[in-house]
């Protein structure tokens, strides 16, 4: 695949607050991804302040280098919102009040129960001549499209899209009127990408790259991006051209077996969503006993809407006396093995399962740091237990990083263990067998 046929795009964000470090530009990176999926080659993302002379100069330069410039911010009703006048001045266009836009703004204010639109909102109806209006599904200020002539002896004609700065409105505009108008303007030159997102956890980026690179080396027209985070690595497969979907299918088939132990499916990328679906469809309920994660596993599970259907609750047993008194971890086990040990993780998982009367019990005990590490149990050591009808699985993992990172990784690992134990073939039936054969429960 070659890039060079793709139209070039630049992204410009307007606002003094972006330059004082108070707010980072939330639109630029998102727009870059969406424009590249639509078929553009993004050359730069730029943030500048509210000064109209600077805005005009910046936009002219950007259109010098790109066929498309998308600009966010400075379209609101206040006197700081100066993108419209900057564009008018830079290209020597008149600003004219649009009766249609003004009527639309007034009707929106009326529908919110106001008698009339406040005077400053009228500014939003003053458009540079020649601008076409892109209705804003999520806010008041409409987006604008201007087709601007190239420089004498310079670049070709270009399209300038002006959008408000609020991320929600940028997204709504881009997924509707902006996308349509871009397809209209660039249709034949665009080869939109097909994108597939794959979430993994439990394998570091370097290992994943090492194992997938060779498998994908000879697949043409495919870009693979890895987005690592504390919780795992998300892959993005991007294919262009006529058979993009077929290429993505073949790529996924090849890497499927390598990914299988680490992959999970969740539309929001959240492993807890995948755990919730698996528990829900199996009719299993869960309870969690947490020590070092201090409530984070339960927080992750109850983040999911509808989780009251499969989360019964849990105990944060931060002090050892709570592990003894509430989870029935024997005092002798605690003193013989220490709180961070296999028998204690097992006893916590089994204790919470029994005492909360659920099918799946989870225990997490470890050393999140910064203090508390000892010989043989350094900071980052965490023991996990998952108790089901047929018995309890326990394992130890060492996690790198500081306190927050160890806790995040440990909670993610606990969720991954639950998902695997619930989804393992035949496993579901075994866990379900609890009711039928209580003697098999630990």
**Residues engaged in binding a copy of itself (CB under 8 A):** 17-25, 28-34, 36, 42-49, 54, 58, 61, 225, 227, 236, 288, 290, 293-299, 301-303, 305-308, 311-319, 321-322, 356, 369-371, 403-404, 407
Element of type H or E holding 247: helix 244-259
> Residue 207 or residue 319: which is nearer to a copy of itself going by CB?
319
Q: How far apart are the C-alpha atoms of 200 and 197, rounded to whole Å? A: 10
Q: How far apart are the C-alpha atoms of 419 and 360, rounded to whole Å? A: 11
Q: How far apart are the C-alpha atoms of 351 and 342, rounded to whole Å? A: 14
The three-state secondary structure class of 145 is strand
Which of 197, 195, 137 lies closest to 166 in space, CA to CA? 137
> Residue 61 or residue 108: which is nearer to a copy of itself going by CB?
61
Q: How far apart are the C-alpha atoms of 179 and 109, rounded to whole Å? A: 27
Q: For residue 72, give both structure tokens.
A: 């966010």
Question: Rounded to an integer, what is the distance from CA 231 to the centroid of its chain?
Answer: 12
Q: Is the peptide bond before 370 cis (omega within 30 degrees of 0)?
A: yes
Q: How far apart are the C-alpha atoms of 116 and 129, rounded to whole Å? A: 26
> Residue 62 or residue 105: which is nearer to a copy of itself going by CB?
62
Q: How far apart are the C-alpha atoms of 234 and 208, rounded to whole Å? A: 10
> Residue 130 or residue 373: which is nearer to a copy of itself going by CB?
373
Q: For residue 176, give both structure tokens.
A: 């509707």
> Residue 131 or residue 273: which is nearer to a copy of itself going by CB?
273
Q: How far is the CB of 38 from a copy of itself (least distance, A)?
A: 12
Q: How far is the CB of 234 from a copy of itself (least distance, A)?
A: 10
**Strand blocks (E) in 129-262:** 132-134, 143-148, 158-163, 194-200, 222-229, 232-239
Q: Please, what is the end-to-end C-alpha distance for the chain in angstroms? A: 58
Q: How far is the CB of 316 from a copy of itself (least distance, A)?
A: 4
Q: How far is the CB of 107 from a copy of itself (least distance, A)?
A: 25
Q: How far apart are the C-alpha atoms of 11 and 43, rounded to whole Å? A: 8
> Residue 48 or residue 90: which is nearer to a copy of itself going by CB?
48
> Residue 219 or residue 316: which is nearer to a copy of itself going by CB?
316
Q: How far is the CB of 30 from a copy of itself (least distance, A)?
A: 6
> Residue 20 or residue 332: which is nearer to a copy of itself going by CB?
20
The three-state secondary structure class of 375 is coil
Q: How far is the CB of 157 from a copy of itself (least distance, A)?
A: 22
> Residue 169 or residue 290: which is nearer to a copy of itself going by CB?
290
Q: How far is the CB of 301 from a copy of itself (least distance, A)?
A: 7
Secondary structure (DSSP) of 394-415? EEEEE--S-HHHHHHHHHHHHH
Q: How far is the CB of 96 from a copy of itself (least distance, A)?
A: 30
Q: How far apart are the C-alpha atoms of 171 and 175, rounded to whole Å? A: 6
Bridging pattern class, strands 232-239 and 360-366: unpaired
Q: How far is the CB of 326 from a copy of itself (least distance, A)?
A: 8
């Amino acid at each position: 695949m070659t890039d060079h046929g793709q139209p070039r795009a630049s992204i410009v964000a307007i606002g003094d607050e972006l330059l004082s470090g108070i707010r980072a530009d939330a639109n630029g990176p998102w727009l870059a991804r969406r424009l590249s999926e639509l078929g553009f080659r993004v050359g730069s993302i730029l943030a500048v302040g509210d000064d109209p002379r600077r805005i005009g100069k910046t936009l002219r330069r950007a259109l010098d280098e790109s066929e498309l410039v998308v600009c966010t911010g400075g379209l609101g009703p206040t006197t700081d919102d100066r993108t419209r006048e900057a564009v008018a001045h830079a290209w020597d266009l008149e600003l004219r009040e649009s009766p249609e836009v003004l009527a639309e703004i007034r009707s929106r204010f009326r529908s919110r129960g106001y008698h009339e639109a406040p005077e400053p909102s009228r500014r939003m109806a003053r458009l540079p001549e020649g601008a076409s209006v892109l209705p804003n599904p999520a806010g008041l200020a409409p987006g604008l499209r201007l087709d601007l002539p190239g420089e004498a002896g310079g670049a070709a004609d270009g399209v300038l899209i002006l959008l408000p700065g609020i991320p929600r409105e940028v997204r709504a505009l881009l997924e509707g009127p902006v996308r349509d108008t871009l397809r209209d303007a660039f249709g034949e030159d665009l080869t939109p990408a097909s994108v597939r997102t794959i979430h993994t956890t439990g394998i570091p980026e370097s290992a994943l790259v090492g194992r997938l690179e060779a498998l994908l080396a000879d697949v043409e027209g495919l870009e693979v991006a890895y987005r690592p985070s504390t919780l795992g690595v998300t892959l993005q497969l991007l294919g262009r051209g006529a058979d993009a979907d077929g290429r993505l299918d073949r790529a996924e088939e090849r890497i499927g077996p390598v990914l299988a132990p680490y992959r999970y499916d969740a539309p929001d990328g959240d492993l807890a969503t995948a755990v919730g679906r698996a528990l829900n469809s199996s009719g299993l309920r869960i309870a969690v006993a947490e020590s070092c994660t201090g409530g984070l596993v339960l927080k992750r599970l109850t983040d999911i809407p509808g989780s009251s259907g499969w989360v019964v609750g849990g105990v944060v047993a931060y002090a050892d006396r709570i592990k003894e008194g509430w989870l029935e971890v024997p005092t002798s086990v605690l003193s013989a093995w220490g709180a961070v040990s296999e028998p204690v993780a097992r006893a916590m998982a089994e204790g919470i399962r029994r005492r909360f009367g659920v099918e799946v019990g989870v225990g997490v005990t470890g050393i999140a740091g910064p203090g508390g590490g000892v010989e043989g149990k350094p900071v980052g050591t965490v023991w996990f237990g998952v108790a089901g009808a047929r018995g309890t699985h326990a394992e130890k993992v060492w996690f790198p990083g500081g306190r927050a990172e160890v806790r995040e990784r440990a909670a993610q690992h606990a969720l991954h263990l639950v998902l695997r134990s619930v989804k393992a073939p035949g496993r579901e039936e075994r866990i379900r067998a609890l009711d039928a054969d209580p003697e098999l429960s630990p």
